[in-house]
Amino acid sequence: MGPNIKPLPMFKQTPNKLTGEVLLKLGDNISTDDILPGGSEIMSLRSNIPEISKYIFIHIDKTFACRALEKGGGFIVGGETMVKAPHVEHAALAPKYLGVKAIVAKSFARIHMANLVNFGILPLTFASKKDYLDTSQGDVLDLTLKS
């Protein structure tokens, strides 16, 4: 096995209470390329999730990956149609590796929502879309999940 062929990381089960900081607030129509840029630099990493995760949101916020690891994860807030080209599973897997617990958005593309669920990131929508305006990067969220 080459240096960039790695097994999937093991993740813990999602607890009933999630607490963390909003690490990043995004606008509308975020694409998979906004989350994880394509190209030979990323593609050569193949399934090396720790290395791939260093590039998450690099064109939006160069400090995101380091901050997420430093803070032990947290939340992302998004606008309408979170991930409009949702075909890349790494757009969910790499944020999970960085500790992203949930993405709270106005709406999600269907396939990206499924990818988030498959990798243990909760795709949550605002009860009222105007709540997006009241949420900022740096806010601390306490979420209690009901079964």
| Predicted local confidence at residue 41, as pLDDT | 77
| Predicted local confidence at residue 58, as pLDDT | 94
> Is there a domain that residue 10 lies in?
no
| Predicted local confidence at residue 89, as pLDDT | 84
pTM: predicted TM-score of the whole model, two decimal places = 0.88
Task: Find, among 103, 57, 101, the residue nearest to 78 by Cα.
Answer: 103
Question: Average pLDDT for consecutive 10-residue bins of the chain (147 residues)?
Answer: 69 85 96 86 82 94 97 96 74 93 94 90 93 96 85
> Is there a domain that residue 145 lies in?
no
Neighbours of 36 (CB within 10 A): 22
> Is there a domain that residue 3 lies in?
no
Question: What CATH number does residue 84 fall under?
Answer: 3.20.19.10
Q: What is the pLDDT of residues 39-65, one digit of tens each?
A: 887 878 878 889 999 999 999 999 999
Q: Is 53 buried (19+), middle (13-18) or exposed (0-12) by CB count in 10 A?
A: buried
Q: What are the tokens at 132?
A: 């997006």
CA distance 109 to 103: 13
> Is there a domain that residue 11 lies in?
no
CA distance 22 to 7: 29
Largest CA distance in the chain: 49
For residue 120, the enclosing domain spans 19-136
| Predicted local confidence at residue 30, as pLDDT | 92
In this structure, are residues 108 and 83 in contact, taking their beta carbons and an 8 Å threshold? yes
